[in-house]
A and B are shown apart, each in its own frame.
Chain A
Amino acid sequence: MSLPPFERVVTEHAGVVLRVCRALLPDHDAQDAAAETFLSALRAYPRLRPDSDVRAWLVTIAHRKALDVLRARARSVPVADVPERPGGHLPDGAAVRDDDLWDAVRALPDKQRLAVAYRYVADLAYADVAAAMGTSEAAARRNAADGVKALRRRYPAPDGATGTATTPEERV
C-alpha cells in the first residue's frame, strides 16, 4: 500500500479544513491557517503511514495552526482593545443565517468551540476530537455537549424552525 498523490488529499479534505479554520478564526485568518495547514501536511506527507486517518491528521494540524494564529494575535493586541465577543444578541425570530451561526460558534469559549468544530464541522469521532484537542474522550463529549447547549441558548429557534429540520434521509 502506498500514499496517494497529495492532490487527492487536497481535493477530499480542503472543504473540511477550511470549515474547521473558519469555526476557529475570522475569515481572513482562516484562509491563511488553512493554507498553512496544507503546507505543513505536504512537508510531512511522505512520512505519513498509508493507513492513517488523513482527515483526523489534518484537523490536528489545523488545530495547531489556528492556535498559532490566536497566540500571535494575543501578543500583538493590547488586552484593553480586545472587543467584546458577540453572542446572545441575535434577534429573536431572525431567519437562520449561516453567518450568524458561524459568529455564534466563534463566540463560544475555546474548548467548546474546538469540540463543536471538530465534532460537527469536521465530523470527527469523539476519539479523534479528543486526540486533536489533547483531552480525554469524556472531556471532548462534555465540551461538545456544553457548546451545543450554549449555541441553543444564544441562538433561539425561530418559530417553525422545527418544521424545517431535515430528516436523516434527507441529509445525504
Chain B
Amino acid sequence: MDLDHLLPDLLSRTDDARALADLRATLARRAEAEGLLDVAYRTIDSPVGRLLLAATPEGLVRVAFETEDADRVLSELATQVSPRVLLAPARLDAVASELEEYFAGRRHAFEVPVDLRLARGFRRAVLERLTQVPYAGTVSYGELAARAGSPRAVRAVGTACALNPVPLVVPCHRVVRSDGAPGRYRGGPDVKRRLLAMEAAA
C-alpha cells in the first residue's frame, strides 16, 4: 500500500458539512460576543432580486443589489470599514424583517439604526435629508439640493443618490428628475420604477 499517496486522500475526505456549519455558527456567535464582528452580512431574496445586507455594530452600513458583484461589495467593505467581515445573519435579522414588511406594503418607514460612514461630507448631508422624504412621496434633485443647503449642487446630489450605500432604507429611489423621469439608480432604472409604482399603489 502506498501510504504516502493514500494518506492525503483519506485524511482530506472527512470534511463533513455539519462540522463546518457548526464551526461557522460558533465563530459568528463568539465574534459578536467578543466585539470582533466589525462587519456582519447576509443575503435575502426580495421582489427586486437578491439583496446583500451588511451592518457594523452601529447599524446598517450597506445594502447591495444583485447587479452589484457581491464579492466586490465585500472586498470594498473589507477595505473601507474593516477586514473583519463575516457571514453572520443574526445582526441583520431586524433589517431583513423590516425589508420583508416593506415589500409586502405593510411598512412605510424603517426603524433600524443606519451607519452612514461610507458617505461623507455633502453626500452624507444629502442622505440625511433624504430620510425625511415620506413613503410614496417624491422629490426632485433640485429640491433636494435646496433642502441640503446648496441649491446649485444638483449634480452632486445626483452623485450622492447614485452612490447611496444603503438604498431602500435611505430612500434615494424617491428622488426623480424634474421632467418626471426616474433617473439613475444603483439597482437600475427598472427597479427604481418598480419601487415607485409599488409605493404609489400601496
Contacts and interface: CB of A to CB of B under 8 A. Distances in A.
A46 B83 contact: yes
A157 B27 contact: no
Contact of A120 (B7, B23, B74, B85): B7
Given A2-B78, A18-B19, A98-B14, A42 B9 contact: no
Nearest to A105: B11
A34 interface: yes
A3 interface: yes
A123 interface: yes
A10 B88 CA distance: 12
A81 interface: no
B200 interface: no
B85 A31 contact: no
Interface stretch (A66-74, A125-133, A160-168): A160-168
Contacts, number: 120
B10 A96 contact: yes
Of B5, B11, B26, B30, which is in contact with the most chain A CB atoms at under 10 Å from its CB?
B11
A141 interface: no
Given A5-B77, A46-B84, A120 B8 contact: yes
A3 to B, nearest CB: 4
Nearest to A3: B83
A139 interface: no
B74 A116 contact: no
B27 A98 contact: no
Of B14, B22, B87, which is in contact with the most chain A CB atoms at under 10 Å from its CB?
B14
10 contacts: A4-B78, A10-B87, A14-B20, A42-B27, A102-B11, A120-B7, A121-B8, A121-B12, A123-B8, A165-B5
Top-7 shortest CB links A-B: A157-B1, A5-B85, A3-B83, A35-B26, A5-B78, A5-B74, A161-B1
Interface of B: 1-15, 19-20, 22-24, 26-27, 30-31, 34, 36, 39, 41, 74-75, 77-79, 82-87
Interface of A: 2-8, 10, 14-15, 18-19, 22-23, 31, 34-35, 38-39, 42-43, 45-46, 96, 98, 101-102, 105, 116, 120-121, 123, 148, 151-152, 155, 157, 161-162, 165-166, 168, 171
Given A2-B83, A98-B10, A171-B5, 14 more contacts: A5-B39, A5-B86, A6-B84, A7-B41, A10-B27, A14-B20, A31-B19, A35-B27, A39-B27, A46-B83, A98-B13, A101-B11, A121-B11, A151-B7
